[in-house]
Amino acid sequence: MNQLQRFLAHKAYNLRVSSLIEPAHAGSGHPTTCLSAADIVAVLFFHVMKYDPYAFENPNADRFILSKGHASALLYAVWKEVGMLSEQDLLTYRDFNSVLEGHPTFRFPYTEAATGSLGIGLSIGVGEALAAKIDNRDYRTYVLMGDGEIAEGCVWEAAELANYNTLYNLIAIVDCNRLGQSDETMVGYHADVYAQRFAAFGFESYVVDGHDINALLDVFKKAHAVTDKPVAIIAKTVKGYGLEGIENKNGYHGKAFTQKELPTLLEHLRERFVGAVDAPQDYVWSPTLPKAEAPIDTHPKVVVSPPPYKSGDMVATRKAYGVALAAAGDTCDQIVSLDGDVKNSTYADIFQKAHPERFVQCFIAEQNMVSMAVGMQRRGKIPFVSTFGAFFTRAHDQIRMAAIGQSPLRLVGSHAGVSIGQDGPSQMALEDIALMRALPESVVLYPSDGVSAYALVGCMANYHNGISYLRTTRMDTPTLYNANESFYIGGCKVLKETDNDVACVVAAGVTLHEALKAYEMLKKEGIFISVIDLYSIKPLDSDTLARLGLKSSNLIITVEDHYQEGGLGEAVRSALVDTGIVVCSLAVTKLPRSGKPEELLAWCGIDAQAIINMVK
């Protein structure tokens, strides 16, 4: 061994020691999966990657994504070896007050991605690598995956798009240690099978002994020489490597060893890696630094020009979204648009025509699209992700993980509700409000006309605390507001109000127009109702709801083109639970079918006549 190899072997040894100590003190964790990847991580952090530990957010630095998030102890161990954590810090692993959580989150400042639900890391890496390409930066993104997670379909969605975009700056590393959580993986130790699969998806693929320092140095050198395709390195390793009687055996996944067992296990490591226990005295390490540059401002103020609509114009909110996004892109070059092969339905194609270099066609692979947006956001982009609202359901795990990572994604779901008409129930977003409301720190917006949709795109661009969701509709609706009307997250609009209201009708989207029809029809009979446009469903304006409800005979009627469970009605009912106001809800309560929009609204009991019947 030369000095570099001895130094890296020493660092790998230290990583194994820490990866045993952390779970033992916590009483839980996944030490054996850390031991299999220790050599890979040592080579990456202490030779391959360029980064500055004291300027982690330097936009030119290489990025490391731990997709196998259960190996979090290894991530913390390497940052301790770099010098950013102490031994005492590691002893807080998994404690309630510690930032060293069981799976990485952004409470730990050196986390590149919140992971733990497997199969997501490569998609995030694709987003980061693509951001580098858009910005003409030379950093590389390294994604360390477990072999068990390669069974996830989203891994191959990501692989396909990595090749499509020629992401030679993306290096996927598979820790092929044969064992999953409960059984052997489907491929086992046939590492060449993984290599062939990645090659079939357009990667340059290599198989390497993941415990041979010299071989790892050589394979990364080869990977860096590739300039026309992404790279996959299949590292054949041993789970629990270094522990006699435990390595390469099933039954140890997620099993922390006790503090009583710890001294014996550490002695096993000393005996196994006797030449690596002590660092070479004459070798001085310092990280390879990237070109110095201040971090990107991820919270720029986005100012959007006034909407091009006037009262009475007929426009679909989905089209107003596309127009607004293009206008926002005019003023902020950090805005990017990701679309799932429905740009001519979501109207994301308007942004594409205005800013083609910042439009990303993700094709019909919504899971990868969402996590790609997470990666792009990490590298300073403001991503808007659009598809049919119904199709976000298949990416809900990725959305949930983005929320755990506090990633401010802007999601736009079109074709909401039964009002889309004859395409039928498979295309109708009827669960989306419930799914998005349940996310921590999420915002759910549901505009009813072109002006409000346009304005709310600007609100989303400036919301950075979590996921925001804009629900848009297929059909044209009349413009209700003047171009200078203001909208904000958490607001609503009182459209009708008298001193003799017998009920307050709360609606959004298509059903708001039905409520306004009902108002005019009831008015002819001398019956008055107040009408609220609840364009912000989460958070909502409970004060205005309570004020109007109390002066409208203590009765609120909600009407929505969404299933009853988890929708607008339940949001209003929860907000007013202690007010004494009675909340009655009109919502979709049965499986819809194909038909004309007006037929479906009537059949589901959410049209103007249904509102009139409820009022009476």
Residues identified as active-site:
366
Q: Give the SS3 label for residue 141.
A: strand
In whole angstroms, give the CA distance from residue 98 to residue 28. 14
Distance from the first to the final alpha carbon of the chain: 88
Tell me the CA distances in angstroms from 47 to 128, 207, 221, 238, 249, one per residue in order. 21, 20, 11, 22, 31
Long-range CB contacts (within 8 A, 24+) of 261-270: 261/24, 262/20, 262/21, 262/24, 265/20, 266/17, 266/20, 266/21, 268/242, 268/243, 268/244, 269/13, 269/16, 269/17, 269/20, 269/242, 269/243
Name the amino acid, one letter, at 235: A
Q: Quick one: how far is CA 302 from the chain centroid? A: 21
CA distance 386 to 338: 6
Two tokens, residue 528 = 């008055």
Partners of residue 288 on adjacent β-strands: 50
Does residue 514 contact residue 607 with C-beta atoms inside 8 Å?
A: yes
Q: Specify the DSSP class assigned to residue 46.
A: I
Place of tokens 């988890």: 566
Tokens 């340059």 belong to which residue?
204
For residue 257, give the 3-state DSSP assignment: coil
Return the structure tokens found at 46. Answer: 């202490």
Q: Write out the DSSP string of 413-475.
A: EESBSGGG-TT-GGG-B-SHHHHHHTSTT-EEE---SHHHHHHHHHHHHT--SS-EEEE--SS
